[in-house]
Amino acid sequence: MTTVRDVAKRAGVSVGTVSRVLSKNETVKQPLKERVQKAMQDLDYKPNLAARALRTSQVAVIGLVVPDITNPFFAQLAKCIETEAAKRNHSVMLANSHDDEETERKQISALLDHAPRGVIVVAASDTGALGYETIVPIISLDRRFEKYPLIATDHSDGSAKIADHLYDLGHRKIAYISGPQNTEVGRSRRNGFLSRIKTLGHDGDPVTLQVFEGQFDYEHGEEIGREILQSNNFERPTAIAAASDQLAIGVLRAARDLKIDVPTELSVTGFDDISLARLVVPRLTTIRQPTDLLAQTALEQIFEERGTREEQALKGDIVIRGSTSPPSL
């Protein structure tokens, strides 16, 4: 079956240009329009239902791309987006990029071929600079995606709250496990924590800080946690702050295997407040991301009729549970 991509290739134009011709967008110049129409005629292309929906403004689908649907935070976020979309009588088409930029590009192009009302992207990384020639609004959510407006939690502020909490408890030997530094989320959380610790530490009461980097998953948390807790290169920290709940839960597992009690011998913190953070033992101190509000704000931006879509940073709240306490003397 002939697709919009086939037409675009035959005409030597982008998929976005074909979409604009199908939607009778007046910005397409006549020679280009005729070239696209000829390609459609040559290929005997018949616009599908999605294309007709685009022309009549009766689109009822939101595209959503996430890096890893097995990540509990992204699953939570997707559920909230589905709920918000349903309030507007829209369905959600979900695609998984597997944290791969090339897969992400293919998934976004496939979603755009269906002419959705909008596309929400939780990016695999923020290093891309391609851009998409489309009239369909694209919104970055949680992680920055290219030039598109970002709706996210203030990750730097959340990490600073964790730093304040550990410092106020009396921790002065701390390890921090960051997420990947090819995403703005990973960098913001790391920089927010490090900057706040630097401000808090002073000549009379300095903080010893060790920094490590991993992916936002359980395996890296356990592996790096074990490395920290067994290292002979530095004194064992009294607290480990992790850049995600998955990392933190991995640290809890490593501590348990090494028979290190949490929180009397080691405090552990996370970030996100996934459902599992309330089920592990001890329950995890973390930053709660406002997933409902993130989803609501992203959908509001998609449905913004005036086209004035703006970036927004929402505040997360610290949730103090049983995984943190003052360091033992």
pLDDT at 47: 66
Out of 24-38, 125-139, 204-218, the most confident range is: 204-218
- The answer to whether 4-151+293-313 and 155-290 have equal CATH topology is yes
Architecture of domain 4-151+293-313: 3-Layer(aba) Sandwich (3.40)
Q: In angstroms, what is the C-alpha Rg of the chain?
A: 24
pLDDT band at 175 (very low <50, low <70, confident <90, very high): very high
| Boundaries of every domain in the chain | 4-151+293-313, 155-290
> 199-226: b or e for each residue (b if 16 or more CB lie within 10 Å)?
ebbeeeeebebbebebbbbbebbbbbbb
pLDDT at 26: 64
H-only helix segments in 88-206 = 101-113, 155-169, 184-200
Residue among 170, 161, 182, 175 at smallest CA distance from 99: 182
What average pLDDT does the segment 30-54 reach?
75
Instruction: Please tell me which residue, 99 or 238, carries the higher pLDDT value.
Output: 238
Which residue shows structure tokens 């035959």? 10
Residue among 123, 94, 130, 90 at smallest CA distance from 110: 94
| Integer angstrom CA distances of residue 133 from 20, 96, 109, 313 | 10, 22, 10, 26
Q: Are 118 and 62 in contact (CB under 8 A)?
A: yes
Q: Choose the weakest-confidence range: 3-7, 85-89, 167-171, 211-215.
A: 3-7
The yes-or-no verdict on residue 49 having pLDDT over 50 is no
What average pLDDT does the segment 190-201 reach?
95
In CATH terms, the superfamily for domain 155-290 is: Response regulator (3.40.50.2300)
The model's pTM: 0.79
The yes-or-no verdict on residue 28 having pLDDT over 90 is no
